Amino acid sequence: MSEQHISTKALHAGHDTTQTLGTRAVPIYQSTSYVFNDTDHAANLFSLAELGFIYTRLNNPTNDILQNRLAAIEGGIGAVVFASGTSAISTGLLTLLKAGDHIVASSSLYGGTYNLLNVTLPRLGITTTFVDASDASNFETAVQDNTRAFFVESLGNPKLDVLDLEAISKQAKAAKVPFIVDNTVATPALLNPIKHGADIVIHSLTKYIGGQGNSLGGVIVDAGNFDWANGNFPEFTEPSAGYHGLVYHEALGNASYTFKLILEGLRDFGGALSPFNAFQIIQGLETLTVRIKKHSENALELAQWLEGREEVAWVNYPGLESSPYKALADKYLPKGQSGIVTFGIKGGFEAAKKFTDATEVFSLLANIGDTKSLIIHPASTTHQQLTAEQQADAGVGQDLIRLSVGIEDINDLKSDLENAFKSL
Ligand SMILES: Cc1ncc(COP(=O)(O)O)c(C=O)c1O
């Protein structure tokens, strides 16, 4: 059978109905632990001589179906789910890095991730150089002897910069470090970073994949291509003190990182996804391709409409002809550019706040990727803790309003914004 398309995989991949009593829907296995056949069986599971379920902090049958489905959709060899996107990012990095290591990252990142790299990880001795990712050669310039990872967002939140993943991946290969791509805003329905050279793909499942604004979750997908034995990662090639002398690369080959995320990352940091949330996220994932098409259509139409408004100073959406990222969007996001639109309002900070307070269909809240339309003024909320320079690097001006365009009727969205303009 030929390789299935993403919309088919989103409904079927990872679920063998003969293993779930024939249930057509993926069941929720709401159990913390699993009965062993006998002590030998238990010993084999703990020593990895046999694979199976031990404890839900490490794995769970519902979570496992979600993991296998996401790996299939992103084109990876394995995936591990987490309690949130942030848990996926922090555990993913801490499983890979140690004190003294260095990251090169795009400066255009979700504010929480920026803070993790800029403030929290340095406290543990892991530092980051932030670069303007629109020029891939900036990554090469920032590489140090101790650089061990590149980190970017394929479609930056909220700058909406589309990155040239292939060019950055070349720099990562030259530096012999894994290229980690947060693909949350683009979604796997519009872009598969592994096809463009990513080694590790991360998602906040809280956003478009869950899609209904009801459950937090995160995932790391491992492409299985990175050479952990290249000399830069002794934790993969020397006996692990954390797992009774296991030499990951020898025992697990290209699945080393996936297993390390479970055996050490989830075991030690504990950011496991609740099976109930996994179930909810599976419901969302099944309709992702249909929803993201509508999100993208509504966002493009609204961005074009905003461009024609005299109250608006500028509009940023990668699908607009006026966008500096249009050529990259044509290459990397030809099926649609997702649902986030940002624009600047004439009148700056105060006008932006007033406008944001006046919408009714657009809910004022700190999330993206819901079926319902959302609005926020980042300078006074999500990005308020950054300096003016950091805000500028992240693409957050005082006048910027971020819309997460939902799948409502486009005319209702336009009239809601029309009313908010009238309130100014
Ligand atoms: C691009 C991106 N990555 C990661 C996260 C963090 O995800 P979570 O809120 O699920 O922890 C967010 C949250 O807004 C995000 O926008």
Structural domains of the chain, with CATH = 6-96+178-284 (3.40.640.10), 289-422 (3.90.1150.10)
Model confidence at 390, in pLDDT bands (50, 70, 90)?
A: confident
Question: For residue 51, with 0-12 CB atoms within 10 Å meaning exposed, 13-18 middle and 19 or more buried, which class applies?
Answer: exposed
How many Å from the N-terminal Cα to the C-terminal Cα in the chain? 58
What number is the average pLDDT over the span 202-219?
A: 98
Instruction: Kindly give the distance from the C-alpha atom of residue 112 to the centroid of ligand 1, in angstroms, as a whole number.
Output: 7
Q: How many angstroms separate the alpha carbon of residue 262 from the centre of ligand 1?
A: 21
- What is the b/e burial string over 128-139, where b = at least 16 CB atoms within 10 angstroms of the residue's CB? bbbbebbebebb
CA distance 61 to 32: 11
Q: What is the mean pLDDT of the chain?
A: 96
Task: Give the DSSP per-residue string, 381-405.
Answer: TTTTTS-HHHHHHTT--TTEEEEE-
Q: For residue 158, is the peptide bond before it cis, meaning its omega torsion is within 30 degrees of 0? A: yes
Q: Whose CA is nearest to atom 8 of ligand 1?
A: 85
Q: Distance, CA 113 to ligand 1 centroid (Å)?
A: 8
CB distance 84 to ligand 1 below 6 Å: yes
CB 120 within 8 A of CB 103: no
370 lines ligand 1 (CB under 6 A): no
- The reported pLDDT for the residue numbered 117 is 98
* 59 C-beta closer than 6 A to ligand 1: no
Q: What is the mean pLDDT of residues 396-415?
A: 96
CA 160–ligand 1 middle distance (angstroms):
14
Question: For residue 89, which of 57, 126, 63 has the smallest C-alpha distance?
Answer: 126
Give the alpha-carbon dihedral of 28, 29, 30, 32, to 10 degrees: -150
Token couple for 404: 């997460």
CA separation for the pair 73, 108 (Å, rounded): 26
Beta-strand relationship, 218-222 and 78-82: antiparallel
Residue 42 three-state SS: helix
Confidence of residue 387 (pLDDT cuts 50, 70, 90): confident
Distance CA 88, CA 116 (A): 12
CA angle 286, 59, 370 (to 5 degrees): 35
Instruction: Locate 200 and state its tokens.
Output: 């590790």
Length of the chain, in residues: 424
Question: For a pocket test of ligand 1, which of 93, 106, 108, 113 has the largest count of ligand atoms closer than 8 A to its C-beta?
Answer: 113
Q: Cα 184 vs. chain centroid, distance in angstroms? A: 3
CA nearest neighbour of 178 among 233, 114, 134: 233
Asked if residue 125 has pLDDT above 70, the reply is yes
Average of pLDDT values for 301-307? 98
* Tokens found for residue 216: 């937090």
Residue 99 has pLDDT above 70, yes or no: yes
Q: Which two tokens stand for residue 32?
A: 């913390």
CB-based contact 275:63 (threshold 8 Å): yes
H or E segment to which residue 62 belongs = helix 61-74
∠ CA 410-416-419, rounded to 5°: 140
How does pLDDT run across 347-359, given as a tens digit for each residue? 999 999 999 999 9
Q: Find all residues with CB under 8 Å of 200, minimum gap 6, and list them.
A: 92, 178, 179, 180, 181, 220, 221, 222, 223, 226, 257
Q: Give residue 392's pLDDT.
A: 79
Please determine, for residue 269, whether its predicted confidence score (pLDDT) is greater than 90: yes
Q: How far is the CA of 102 from the centre of ligand 1 (A)?
A: 22
Q: Which of 206, 365, 381 to mutate to test the pocket of ligand 1 (most atoms within 8 A of CB)?
A: 206
Sign of the alpha-carbon torsion through 279, 280, 286, 292: negative
Mutate which of 184, 365, 368, 382 for ligand 1? The one with the most ligand atoms within 8 Å of its CB, which is: 184
CA of residue 184 to ligand 1 center, whole Å = 7
Give the pLDDT of residue 388: 81
Q: What amino acid is encoded at 20 in this protein?
A: T
Q: What are phi and psi of 105, to 5 degrees?
A: -130, 150
Q: Which amino acid is at 299?
A: A
CA 292 from centroid of its chain's CA atoms: 15
Q: Which pLDDT band holds residue 384 (cuts at 50, 70, 90)?
A: confident
pTM of the model: 0.97
pLDDT digits (tens, 9 = 90+) for 114-124: 999 999 999 99
Q: Would you state the pLDDT for residue 254?
A: 95
Give me the mean pLDDT over the 226-248 stretch: 95
Determine the distance separating the centroid of ligand 1 and the alpha carbon of 87, expressed in angstroms. 10
The whole-number pLDDT of residue 1 equals 64
Instruction: Give the pairing of strands 312-316 and 340-345.
Output: antiparallel
Of the residues 107, 204, 404, which should be mutated to test ligand 1's pocket, given the most ligand atoms within 8 Å of the CB?
204
Q: What is the pLDDT of residue 217?
A: 98
Dump pLDDT digits (tens) for 15-27.
Answer: 999 999 999 999 9
